Amino acid sequence: MGRSERAADIVTEFVREKVDLIVSRGTVSVLAAKQATSVIPIVFAGGDPVGTGLVVSLAPPGGNVTGLSLQQTDLAGKRLELLREVVPALRRLAILANAGNPVTLRDMREVEAAAGAPGFTVAALEIWRVQDIAAGFRGA
């Protein structure tokens, strides 16, 4: 996991330095940039830009934020379907997700919703720190 807690400080420094453009990958840093400036153009590559509030719509995005959507939450059902084809006996799925990333959490919720079949459960484990990973595996 990165150091997203520093995103606001870093973006504040960019704004103070009056950079011409901010380029970022990652929802947390782009949201920090969007909060820090409405003047400097922000270009991103990220998950679901509309769902996370980066832009109002995909066409046109509006404001000073634009970029490339790597949106994949709408594919959650298909990924789960493929996984169940590969592992037909699958009855329980554990998902470890970076709780600091809103796109990851949204994707995890989509998988939970797609897994609604009787006899199939999803254990969603939100990881806040690297130290939580081992405990997450033990809990799964």
Average pLDDT per block of 10 residues along the chain, 140 residues long: 71 92 85 92 82 81 81 73 85 80 77 77 79 71
Q: What is the pLDDT of residue 3?
A: 59
Do residues 77 and 32 both lie within one domain? no
Do residues 54 and 9 both lie within one domain? yes
- What total number of domains does the chain contain? 2
Q: What is the pLDDT of residue 1?
A: 40
Token pair recorded at residue 139: 């809990």
CA distance linking residue 24 with residue 33, whole number of Å: 9
Which residues on neighbouring strands pair with residue 94, listed in sequence order?
Answer: 123
Domain boundary (38, 69, 100) is at 69
Q: What is the pLDDT of residue 113?
A: 82
Q: What is the pLDDT of residue 4?
A: 63
Q: CATH number for the domain including 38? A: 3.40.50.2300
Q: What is the 3-state secondary structure (H, E, C) of the chain?
A: CCCHHHHHHHHHHHHHCCCCCEEEECHHHHHHHHHHCCCCCEEEEECCCCCCCCCCCCCCCCCCEEEEECCCHHHHHHHHHHHHHHCCCCCEEEEEEECCCHHHHHHHHHHHHHCCCCCCEEEEEEECCCCHHHHHHHHC
Domain boundary (49, 69, 89) is at 69
- Domain extent for 91: 73-139
Do residues 52 and 77 both lie within one domain? no
Q: What is the pLDDT of residue 16?
A: 92
